Amino acid sequence: MVEGGFTKLLRKKLFFHLAQKYQPLGSGEPEEEETHEECELKIIEQEKEVAVLPPKDACKCHKEDLAKALNVDLQTGLSECSVLQRRLKHGWNEFSVENTEPIWKKYLDQFKNPLILLLLASALVSVITKEYEDAASITMAVLIVVTVAFIQEYRSEKSLEELNKLVPPECNCLREGKLQHLLARELVPGDIIYLSVGDRVPADLRLIEVTDLLVDESSFTGEAEPCNKTDSVLMEAGDITTLSNVVFMGTLVRYGKGKGVVIGTGENSQFGEVFKMMQAEETPKTPLQKSMDRLGKQLTLFSFGIIGLIMLIGWLQGKHLLGMFTIGVSLAVAAIPEGLPIVVTVTLVLGVLRMAKKRVIVKKLPIVETLGCCNVICSDKTGTLTANEMTATRLVTSDGFQAEVSGVGYNGEGNVYLLPSKEILKEFSNVSVGKLVEAGCVVNNAIIRKNSVMGQPTEGALIALAMKMELADIKDIYVRNKEIPFSSEQKWMAVKCTLKNQDQDDIYFMKGAFEEVIQYCSLYNSGGISLSLTPQQKAFYQQEEKRMGSSGLRVLALASGPELGKLTFLGLVGIIDPPRAGVREAVQVLLDSGVSVKMITGDAVETAVAIGQNIGLCNGKLKVMSGEELDQLAEAELSSTVKNVSIFFRTSPKHKLKIIKALQRAGAIVSMTGDGVNDAVALKSADIGIAMGQAGTDVSKEAANMILVDDDFSTVMNAIEEGKGIFYNIKNFVRFQLSTSISALSLITLSTVLNLPNPLNAMQILWINIIMDGPPAQSLGVEPVDRDTIKQPPRRITDTILSKSLILKIFMSAVIIISGTLFVFWKENPKGGINPRTTTMTFTCFVFFDLFNALTCRSQTKLIFEIGFFRNRMFLYSVLGSFLGQLAVIYIPPLQKIFQTENLGVLDLLFLTALASSVFIVSEFIKLCEKHCCQPKHTKACHN
């Protein structure tokens, strides 16, 4: 209703404005005013409601048909009247993010966690039983955990808003015959836009005029090379990468200039498609969240079991049921480890901080642990596995010399090595290589500043090559007289130059596709001398060009000479966007640990396979699949097929999403790494989305859960290692806390059921609880990650925190602690009744058992001598503090009165230490047996 009223009001204002605007000067007659108002009303009513043109339709339209469909004059542009009318229908050229849930509701949603609900229930029971201190401490713990989780998640929910940052704030638009500088959000379908170098395209445009226009669509399609754009009509429309007469919102003009008509704005653009897909996607629950949910349910059942058992025993003994119910509820509340959510949160926060030191930003706490389950990493190629910096890697001179080039990017670091001798070449130490590099530097419009290229990336690669040869300044000795620019038809570029301060003939330098450049050559260079070009030489060059092309290189041919048609062929340069440093090693470690790595790219199959082989995907055994082939597969067939494919090429954002969903249906925990807008949807739908910090777009960074600050793919290994370590630390804590709480509860339960005197008084139980939930327990959560963790296979998503083996170990430790404590209680229990010595010995025995139990809980599989006594200093300090605290309770008179203890002799302490160490010795012995008897099977796989 409100929107309808606003529209009517806008129409009335528009009519009034137009009536005033077109009123003839000097005329004040009311009839004429009415006539003009009626005229303007007619114009608006006759204004055709222009529909958005899909790119695949627009690319096949002639200019006249395009102008007719969009109801625009291509020479003068739209009128203000048409613009306002169209905006009513199409809205602003921006993305509106609907905030469906208020902040308070998002905060309350955090309380839906079963473990949190269980803790709140125990706090309520504590209030009913008048244990107000317990209720306050549990409530405080819950609030801390919920608030930390809420802040982390709230900060990470901005992915849709960030799409607006890609829409440039301003653009050059033709309206009413005048070129105007407008905000991009004001554009409507039918607007005429002028593009020049450095502009970010403000909306989807159908080009109607171009001059050497090159557009970087890498963030959108994954193509490393800028796309050559035309204004000619296409007969057929393939996928968006083939639409050479259409440019898309958010892409970047690298070279040349152009003019186009807006065919799609805001959510109706191709970026709008990504926006809608992101709106539809929900971030999946992490395995840790699922494990914590299961643990909460298990502990709830355990609590009800305790209540039921005690009530049954009480009923059989003829005791009052309400009294037994109160005891049962109190014990059940005590059994719930209220410290667990805090330890989990603290462990995750510390993991996040450790990752930050390794230049990895983690935006959602549970995501750190999810990496421990990750068994498939899908990675974008351009900008992720590769640096998105074109680099010359191979040279073949016209007289047969071959050289390889080291170093990546535009910083000039690296060398040119002559093969096979590996001699480092500088300047003209090898004349043939020097002349080839010189030509590439001269026939060039790129400039390298601050390690980034201004101009075409391939030209930047030739400048970087010249820098490595110390020839970057050689173009300054020439004066450029003429340039024949590159075009998609001729496939070459040439410049006519003369040497500075010398009266010599003109010299042409040419670069381009081999088959085109060779047609202008009649000679070839041999050690600085020009010789006649023979058919055999041409065949040799053609063979070399094919060999380089098949290995994924983009091949440029170079020539120079006095005139076109009489050029001297100089050789070939192979250029590629090479893998980042450390990627090959990282992929190998991941494959060895049972993590499958898949490459998903918009690039061509040759380039994708070359990079895949270079980085060792699946040890070179590659299976590839195109986006078109993906579309033809049914959902069920897709899930079984994608597991065996290593490389997906010519893919769109929809394909990436399809691949991830298929892998998830097959039971995989999928991590997606990417840097472009085309990766954003996949990053959000994956279990772990990882974006690049430097090369990544704002959209990809916001859609992701993690950001690699230095764009270093190898840091994913550190993240996976951290994720596995965190889960093990949580298990260690759970084992310690549950074995301690079960022991304490069993002692109290046995004494209550059997009508025995209580071996521990209230203050002693409180002290044990402090140790159980305090520093020794918390310090288990910060155990440093074991070095062998990365070699372990990924954790199965079905693995719970309370696995069968962990439950057995918990009960084993509990049985030893209970038996040892009851033995001391029996031994020290005189016939005359309990005295302070009895409770002191029993109490100290239980605390010592606790500390030895904590020591063995530092690792589930490794002996204490393997992990080292001093690696976790926080643990050492907390155990030492607890030990000194216990001595203080025994020997300091004021504390003796509070805890009802008395002095113990040295022999007593030695006896208790020897007895309590039994829980440590037995646990370590079991670890040793497991190590030798049950060697874990390690799967070294490309387990697709």
Terminal C-alpha separation, the chain: 54
In sequence order, what are the beta bridge partners of 707?
361, 691
Contact at 8 Å (CB) between 704 and 363? yes
Instruction: Answer yes or no: are the C-beta atoms of 545 and 603 closer than 8 Å.
Output: no
- The Cα–Cα gap between 213 and 225 comes to 13
- The bridge status of strand 423-425 relative to strand 416-419 is antiparallel
Contacts of 770 (CB under 8 A, 6+ apart): none
Q: How many distinct helices (H) and strands (E) make up the chain?
A: 34, 28
Alpha carbon distance 514, 456 (integer Å): 19
Q: Can you tell me whether residue 418 is helix, strand or coil?
A: strand
Structure tokens at 220: 């959108």
Tell me the three state secondary structure of residue 80: helix
Q: CA distances (Å), 351 to each of 291, 377, 648, 727, in order?
A: 18, 21, 33, 11
Closest by Cα among 707, 697, 578, 600 to 645: 600
Q: What is the DSSP letter of 536?
A: H
Burial class (CB in 10 A: 0-12, 13-18, 19+), 928: exposed
Helices 114-128 and 287-316, packing angle to 10 deg: 40
Amino acid at 30: P
Q: Is the dihedral of CA 739, 741, 747, 752 positive or negative?
A: negative
239 is catalytic: no
Query: Rounded to whole angstroms, how far apart are CA atoms 696 and 665?
Result: 28
Q: Taking Cα atoms as reference points, which of 683, 669, 675 lies closest to residue 708?
A: 675
DSSP state of 385: I
Amino acid at 515: E
Token readout for 573 is 């340069």
Residue among 98, 87, 82, 91 at smallest CA distance from 267: 91
Alpha helices of 415-471 — where are they, by DSSP H?
A: 431-442, 457-468
Buried b (16+ CB within 10 A) or exposed e, 687-724: bbbbbbbebbbbbbbbbbbbbbeebbbbbbbbbbbbbb
Residue 401: name the closest of 552, 525, 542 by CA: 525
Q: Where are any strands of DSSP class E within 160-271?
A: 170-175, 178-183, 192-195, 204-216, 227-228, 246-247, 252-264
CA gap 157, 173 in Å, rounded = 34
- Tell me how far apart the alpha carbons of residues 647 and 626 are, in angstroms, rounded to a whole number: 8
Cβ proximity of 636 and 340 under 8 Å: no
Strands 507-512 and 529-532: unpaired
Q: Which of 204, 380, 687, 698 is catalytic?
A: 380
Neighbour tally for 754: CB within 10 Å: 9
Q: Please tell me the number of Cα atoms within 13 Å of 736 on its side-chain side.
A: 36
Longest Cα–Cα distance in the chain: 123
Q: How far is CA 478 from CA 236, 367, 496, 502, in A?
A: 45, 57, 10, 10
What residues act catalytically?
A: 380
